[in-house]
Structure 1
């Protein structure tokens, strides 16, 4: 056994139990990493250097592990476009789903339908098909849940994010502004390290040799929770509530009183703090900068309020809650950007998050099933629990 294999990575003591596996190494992740001070990187490239890339180029980087030539990226993009269509039978079953639940419940059912009707049982092929079909699946689930009518056919002449906007039937669409906002939203949400809950759960389920679709359904169940993918929805509720209570003047003293009241009532201040980061989330920084550089939305009341909170909430949390890392995370601004760019439907933000995060999840599942341990794949997950009987 080599010295590297003998290296002690972490010492587990009793105090580490029931702490959410925070900091405890369980495997390798080659798609992305989150550094406490530098933030997110994909395949070794920091997110700031990728923020102007087209989504398909970033997807190629994450999925294949290299930047790719223009010819390789074009071939990859064309392959996804050829796979992007859902069968008539699949769409018929999805449109028959009840609307009473949440859109994430519909999306999970829709994934199950695609698995039954169109799945092939090959991890790589199913991963490529999922990445290609997710815009239509998510748009179709949103349109169905909202009652926005029949989802249009996928348009292979458009980019992944523009095609998704094309597939959404919401009223008062500003396609040109939303196009750039959605592109940036996609790029910063594709992946976020190996230990984020949705990726971890998907890999855990796949370790039992469940197929790619079933594993992703489990991932989306994890992502639906308020501590994970639904935090963006709660964050924009916070922004709107602050605006309604403080009005246009956005007084710092009034905010301090408001935050103190919410904290005393046990309320969470969504959009601030992070399990890993010790600085402002670089993804949030990119979105703040983008919003402030666009005159069409820089004066929008949601953007103004989000920027006001960016400046004033961290010191309040540091003082009143003794938080060591009270800085804005991506959820503090992402929803406000989508809303200001004409998609003001927070109840669907989690589904959009799921659309883009699926890229990282299926890439990580594929690695663990077909490449880890020199191609043998990881064994079934079986952690030890200490009996208390």
Structure 2
């Protein structure tokens, strides 16, 4: 009997067909005035909604002229610089205070702040045996994937999971804001134990801790941390908490919310968006790029050698050969990311506490921060200015804090769950329509062919 030969195409051949049949002529985007990425050529986003939650000003215009270095970010109308200076000058961590502001629209009174801090702390608990039955089962190297699985599984423990009333969604949001640190840190410890052969620590957060303190306490074997470490991590959380309705993961939150879906499915979708290296995963790429730079340029103070390395990156001859200097530029801001400017002050303080080696590395970051925009402007046709964004410094900070790279993007998620929750509630209150943008078909009409004629 003759063995039947399998003539089905290989995956490589099938992928080639996908590329051949799905590739669209770039000129058509211009011909039909398609705003690719929902942005114009200057990077300005297409307006698809309204929000009270935050405002981003890429630049300031005075008397018809752009004022350099004046990008702004406002949470509920309050400039982020003023907001940060407020709670820092009064000796407080800011995460819970700013979360209250974003969720409820106003700064809390002293009593309401204490009550809210207690509410978040009291909800830092998971269902009985959840760590054993969910987090420790099939741990993944991608903590973001583990987070998504945990969030979707939590829906099974909520008898009102599909209730989209504002009261119920707010209750779910508070729960998720409280447990995100546990889900992320415990998932890392499970992966580190089962995947890397390391020790596993499951520390229950102590009462009275801020979110930043709870993260450091759960992560470290000795549960110890300095005030400067906790303050710097708290600052990272505050600055990553919210960034307008148009960023990819928040827009995903609003799109899924508009369909009427439940909170757990919505947040899992947002996590999938944030995971991408073009969004929340960017700080890992910065850290890897800087490690490659240090391996290539032995003298951190050699500006010409650093410049040459950056030119080689843009020419696709260095690092990952993709021609990108990670941590430089932003879809919205031009020559100033206000978050980076604020964060750099706390990076400097932490580097000073960590000692000479950390300070030398911080000097290298500042050198790249200064030289990279010059190199980019020389090598690229730019429609707007370019500067370091917050991702440029956050990876360095997380490294100084001893955070494993697997937790870099989850830390972003621990912060951004507040913004996602605020936007989900606002979308539920105001939107009556499912989001349904249009795509222009550019394929040719065809006719069906009989099977024996193909």
What TM-score, normalized to structure 2? Answer: 0.77
**1:131 and 2:177 matched:** yes
The 8 Å contact of residues 126 and 179 in structure 2, kept in 1 or not, is answered as yes
Q: 1:296 is matched with which residue?
A: 353
> Cα offset for 1:135?
1.6
Q: Deviations over 1:11-45 (max 9, x none)?
A: x9955425111221111122112110233211111
Q: 1:108 is matched with which residue?
A: 148
**1:144 and 2:203 matched:** no
Distance 1:224 1:187 in 2: 19
The 8 Å contact of residues 275 and 409 in structure 2, kept in 1 or not, is answered as yes
**1:77 and 2:134 matched:** no
> Cα offset for 1:186?
0.7
Q: 1:24 is matched with which residue?
A: 46
Q: 1:317 is matched with which residue?
A: 376
Distance 1:29 1:298 in 2: 44
The equivalent position to 2:238 in structure 1, one of 187, 210, 215, is 187
Distance 1:292 1:197 in 2: 30
Q: 1:353 is matched with which residue?
A: 412
Judged with a 3 Å threshold, the aligned counterparts in structure 2 of structure 1 residues 150 and 298 are, in CA distance, closer, same or farther, namely: closer
Q: 1:277 is matched with which residue?
A: 333
> Cα offset for 1:105?
0.9
Q: Deviations over 1:222-276 (max 9, x none)?
A: 0000100000111111222222211233312112221222211132111000111
> Cα offset for 1:356?
0.6
> Cα offset for 1:325?
2.3
The 8 Å contact of residues 35 and 46 in structure 2, kept in 1 or not, is answered as no
Judged with a 3 Å threshold, the aligned counterparts in structure 2 of structure 1 residues 143 and 169 are, in CA distance, closer, same or farther, namely: farther
The 8 Å contact of residues 281 and 328 in structure 1, kept in 2 or not, is answered as yes
Judged with a 3 Å threshold, the aligned counterparts in structure 2 of structure 1 residues 119 and 159 are, in CA distance, closer, same or farther, namely: farther
Judged with a 3 Å threshold, the aligned counterparts in structure 2 of structure 1 residues 26 and 249 are, in CA distance, closer, same or farther, namely: closer
> Cα offset for 1:306?
1.1
The equivalent position to 2:394 in structure 1, one of 329, 334, 339, is 334
Judged with a 3 Å threshold, the aligned counterparts in structure 2 of structure 1 residues 145 and 29 are, in CA distance, closer, same or farther, namely: farther
Q: Deviations over 1:173-199 (max 9, x none)?
A: 644332111111111010000000000
The 8 Å contact of residues 274 and 281 in structure 2, kept in 1 or not, is answered as yes
> Cα offset for 1:316?
0.9
Distance 1:109 1:119 in 2: 18
Q: Which of 1 and 2 has greater Rg?
A: 2
Q: 2:81 is matched with which residue?
A: 48
Q: Equivalent residue of 2:36, what SS?
A: coil
**Structure 2: 5+ residue runs without aligned partners?**
1-28, 40-44, 60-70, 88-93, 162-167, 194-198, 317-321, 444-454
Judged with a 3 Å threshold, the aligned counterparts in structure 2 of structure 1 residues 194 and 297 are, in CA distance, closer, same or farther, namely: same
Matches of residues 244-259 of structure 1 in structure 2 within 5 Å?
Answer: 244-259=295-310
Greater shift, 239-248 or 310-319, is seen at 239-248
Q: Equivalent residue of 1:270, what SS?
A: coil
The 8 Å contact of residues 90 and 117 in structure 1, kept in 2 or not, is answered as no
Q: Equivalent residue of 1:381, what SS?
A: coil
The 8 Å contact of residues 231 and 331 in structure 1, kept in 2 or not, is answered as yes
Distance 1:16 1:350 in 2: 34
Q: Equivalent residue of 1:33, what SS?
A: strand
Q: Deviations over 1:84-129 (max 9, x none)?
A: 2111232222233323441111111111121212463331111111
Q: 1:65 is matched with which residue?
A: 105
> Cα offset for 1:146?
2.0
Residue-pair matches, total: 372
Which runs of at least 4 in structure 1 moved beyond 3 Å after TM superposition?
A: 12-16, 169-177
Greater shift, 329-338 or 293-302, is seen at 293-302
